Amino acid sequence: MRSAHIRVGAELLLLALLLVHAIAARLIRLPGTPSPGTPESAEFALAFWSALYSGLISSVVTGLIVGLIVWQIQNAADSRRTRADLLTRIGLFRHALHAALDRVDAIIIGYATSSAPHAAKQAAKLLNSSPIDLWSAALPDHAPFLLMVKQLRATYLAFTRAADKLDDQVRRFVRTRNSQDAHHGAFDEESHHYCVGRIQGVTPDDTFQWIVEPFQSQEELEASFAAAAKDDNITQAAQDYLEAKRRLMAAVNSLRNHLSMDARV
């Protein structure tokens, strides 16, 4: 934008110089001026052109300096307005994030991808709709807070990847097992949810209570989980999932504590 303005200004300056030169060339031929080709004409032309260009250059330089000062003042004012707007937006963001994180943590039994803490889910939605990277570049004094926000975003993404892998492995296992037992696909979801609940450390009784109108008994579901726990792929995926969830909860708690301390100040 600024380079375009400079180019247009240079073109206008050149046009003005050409126009002044054309007008001046006619002026020195007006009645009362020395005749062309005489010594007096040469002296007059030298004095005329020197005075003309000296005044023109002085005016141009003065105009450029004044224009630069005005541009700097305007740019500084724009920067202050932009910073004020960013500070207002990040203040609203902090308030909304604090409200999102200030929720009771609970274990969710279902698919692994849906088992993220509710506070983390709400915070992730807020982060995805906010210009975190822009704030980091424009507001260095908020760097510690924004670094924690980025860590929460990164740990949430890592959790979703780990949860996806666990769901893939459990889905594969329960479909294979249920097909061997001649169980139709409706059995798969409750077997899947039960396994994820047990992987999270929920007791068999509490996990079974989450199953709505189960096709299988608690004993059958527990036997399916016991078999799944011996599958190497599920074991590895479960370890990665639990570690990712632990890190996510640590990031949530860290940011929640930071915002709570700020709210008390």
Q: CA 9 → CA 30, 34, 70, 76, distances in Å?
A: 32, 36, 15, 21
Let me know if residue 152 belongs to a domain: yes
Mean pLDDT, rounded, of the chain? 80
The pLDDT of residue 88 is 83
Return the axis-axis angle of helices 39-101 and 2-27, rounded to nearest 10°: 160
Let me know if residue 182 belongs to a domain: yes
Q: Which of 158, 231, 152, 175 is nearest to 199 (CA)?
A: 231
Same domain, 73 and 151: no
Domain membership of residue 232 as a residue range = 102-264
pTM of model > 0.85: no
Residue 119 has pLDDT above 70, yes or no: yes
Please answer whether residues 139 and 86 qualify as being in contact, where contact means their C-beta atoms are separated by less than 8 angstroms. yes
Same domain, 22 and 131: no
Let me know if residue 125 belongs to a domain: yes
Same domain, 150 and 190: yes
Q: What is the pLDDT of residues 220-254, one digit of tens each?
A: 999 999 999 999 999 999 999 999 999 999 999 99
Let me know if residue 129 belongs to a domain: yes
Tokens representing 149? 């926000």
Same domain, 107 and 8: no
Phi and psi of 22, rounded to 5°? -65, -45
Structural domain count of the chain:
2
Q: What is the pLDDT of residues 211-221, one digit of tens each?
A: 888 888 999 99
